Structures are given as C-alpha cells and as structure tokens.
Amino acid sequence: MSTTTTPNLAEAERRAATLGLLGFDVDGTLTDGRIYIGPTGEAMKAFSVRDGFGLNLLRRAGIRIAIVTARESAIVALRAAELGFDAVIQGARDKAATMRELGERFGVPMAHCGFVGDDWPDLAAMTQAGFRATVAGAPAEIRARAHWVSTLAPGAGAVRELAEFVLRAKGQWDELLLSFGAPPAPGSRSP
C-alpha cells in the first residue's frame, strides 16, 4: 500500500471502510488539471488508464462512483460512459447539494459517501462527506480538510492509489486480486 500524507491513517481507514458512494471532481482530480482548448472549444483532456482501472475495481467491490463537476464536457461524458460511472453530473454549481441528491438516489447516507476534490469549489461537497480525499499538490486548505491525500499526482495514478486504499480498508483487496488469477501473497490471510 502506498504511503500517504494522511494525518490520521486509522481514522481515514475507518471512514473508507464504510463507503458506498464516491463522488469525483474531474479537472485536477481525474485529470492533471490542464484543459486543451482548440479553435472550436475544448479539444482534449488526459485521463490515466490506471486511474480508470482503479475506478473499475471500486465498482466491482460494490461502491457506486459518480462524477460531480461544474464544467460541461463531451470528453468527460465519453470517458464516464467507458468506465461505467453510476452517475455523471456536469454543470453542477452546488456540488454539496448534488452529492446529497446522489446519496438519496442510491440510498447511501452522507456518512457513507465520499468526495474527491482538488480545490476550493470542492470544499462544501468534501466537508459534508463521511470520507474526504484529495490529490498531491492540492492547495493546503484542501489537504488540511481531507482524511486522505494521495502521494501520486492527479491524472497520473492518484485515483488508482485511492482505490487501493479504500479496497484495503474494506478488506476487499486480496479477494479482488484473486479474481484476476493472482495467487495469494506470502503471509496473506486470503484463502
């Protein structure tokens, strides 16, 4: 497991173990935060394949995943469809209200919802969530309010690192690894 800059790892693990829904901002969280704009508008965003696999693992473990972003982008809609997000909310001006609505829709109390953000517009959604995560390089105000902070950069494996943390906290990591044909690790408690 990666070492994070999480101030209270035990508390972060306890909160992550109860997750049923995890919301994600996009720019600066699922991407490196750069937006490439061409003559006809937004032209490109870069997403990590490893992050995508981490999101797939979260879904396989029964955790609902949602995009909650203030921007609107056909690129985000395409990537979200590829990854099978349970909800994609673009143009969200009030991310906290959107997360409450998603919690109600999926029957997940806010104490069992998480939010992953990277800057001040994400604060309200993060602070009401039972589990708050952010990425390396996020502003100090965001990192100070997060239960978990990645060591990897956004758009470069931070979400994959988060998925591993959550799945280990839930006790599902070894089971998922075995489902891919890997033998148990030496000293593992898995069958």
Domains of the chain: 9-176 (3.40.50.1000)
Residue whose tokens read 């959107």: 98
> Amino acid identity, residue 117?
G
**What are 4-47's pLDDT values in tens digits?**
455 689 999 999 999 999 999 999 999 999 888 888 877 788 99
What's the predicted TM-score (pTM) here? 0.90
- Sign, CA dihedral 87-126-163-28, equals positive
**What are 146-183's pLDDT values in tens digits?**
999 999 999 999 999 999 999 999 999 988 988 888 77
What is the DSSP secondary-structure string of 142-191? Answer: HHHH-SEE-SSPTTTTHHHHHHHHHHHHTT-HHHHHHHTTPPPPTT----
> Rounded to 5 degrees, what angle do the CA atoms 20, 22, 25 make?
170
